[in-house]
Amino acid sequence: MRILITRPKEDSLRFAEMLEARGHQPVCAALLSIRTFDGPELTLEGVSAILATSANGVRALARRTKERTLPLFAVGPQTADAAKTAGFEKIEYSDGDAATLAEAMLDWIAPEEGVLLHAASADNEGRLKTLLAEEGYRVDVQVLYEVVAHHKLPEPAREALSQNALDAAVVFSSNSALALVDCIEQAGLVEACRGLVAIVISKAAAEALRPLPFRAVLIADKPNQNAMLDAVERASALG
């Protein structure tokens, strides 16, 4: 299949390699950019562990501290891989979302062991902190980056859509979904979506895509990269 990838550049390139290994043809369209915030080195005194809910959070954190020995608890395998690449030594991960991570924390560390530092984005809704607070944990949310949406399709993506040269689009977040809707509407290519299957990471992302008339919308079984790859194969079977 010919598949549009809407992730930020670094993640798009990695996912493109995975798709190519499975015989698909990716078209990268980075509709989001990650802007990390500069600042002094983070003070981790009293912090017992780090919480990471995205690979981008790990990368932003790694720019602001040399600390790599504190336990790092990641939301999923992709975030854990980013932590390993950044040099963190003690990594655990759940396999889902903020609720799954909060539940797993009960087996990994006790509330009385100290403060948990959450490496968060500017649009963090505070759900993880709220869930953990209900279990007696103290969470210090450090906003280390922001996600910036683009408002114009990259030319290769615009051309592929206008020529009906795509079979599917993969969308890894509701932010990506909103950006895709905006860019496609701005380009006047809404009708070009009728032949495409949208492969999305969550119900929220699927809901954000409702303005576009995709042939079908498939939601990954779990909110992670491997489940998205499995959903791509399900889309391929649709013909």
Give the per-residue pLDDT at 232: 96
pLDDT band at residue 183 under the 50/70/90 scheme:
very high
Region 83-107 average pLDDT: 93
Q: Which CATH architecture has domain 2-31+150-237?
A: 3-Layer(aba) Sandwich (3.40)
Q: State the average pLDDT over residues 66-91.
A: 95
Q: How confident is the model at residue 223 (pLDDT cuts 50, 70, 90)?
A: confident
pLDDT at residue 237 above 90? no
Domain ranges of the chain: 2-31+150-237, 35-147
User: In the structure, what pLDDT confidence band is assigned to residue 124 with cuts at 50, 70 and 90?
Assistant: confident
Name beta bridge partners: 47: 115
Q: Are strands 168-171 and 197-200 parallel, antiparallel or unpaired?
A: parallel
| pLDDT surpassing 90 at residue 97 | no
What contacts 24+ positions apart, CB below 8 Å, involve 91-95?
95/222, 95/224
pLDDT at 190: 97
Provide the pLDDT confidence category of residue 134 given band limits of 50, 70 and 90: very high
- Give the integer Cα–Cα distance in Å for 210 and 203: 11
Local confidence band at 96 (pLDDT 50, 70, 90 cut-offs): confident
The phi and psi torsions of 70 (rounded to 5 degrees) equal -65, 145
Q: Which CATH class is domain 35-147?
A: alpha beta
Cβ neighbours for 169, distance < 8 A, ≥ 6 positions apart: 3, 4, 5, 6, 180, 196, 197, 198, 199, 214
Domains 2-31+150-237 and 35-147 share a fold: yes
46-58 confidence digits (pLDDT tens): 999 999 999 999 9
Is the model's pLDDT at 181 over the cut of 90? yes
> What is the SS3 assignment for 137?
coil
Cα 198 to chain centroid, rounded? 16
Question: What's the average model confidence in pLDDT over 127-147?
Answer: 96
User: Taking 80 as the threshold, does the pLDDT of residue 186 lie above it?
Assistant: yes
Average of pLDDT values for 100-112?
A: 94
Q: What is the band of 224 on the pLDDT scale with cuts at 50, 70, 90?
A: confident
Q: State the average pLDDT over residues 56-63.
A: 96
Rounded Cα distance, 169 and 113, in Å: 44
Residue 239 has pLDDT above 80, yes or no: no
Q: Is the pLDDT of residue 139 over 80?
A: yes
Instruction: Give the full edge-to-edge strand order of the sheet including 25-28.
Output: 25-28, 2-5, 168-171, 197-200, 216-219
Write 86-92 long-range contacts (CB < 8 A, 24+): 86/58, 86/59, 86/61, 86/62, 87/62, 88/50, 88/58
Band of pLDDT at residue 44, cut at 50, 70 and 90: very high
Residue percentage of the chain with pLDDT more than 90: 88
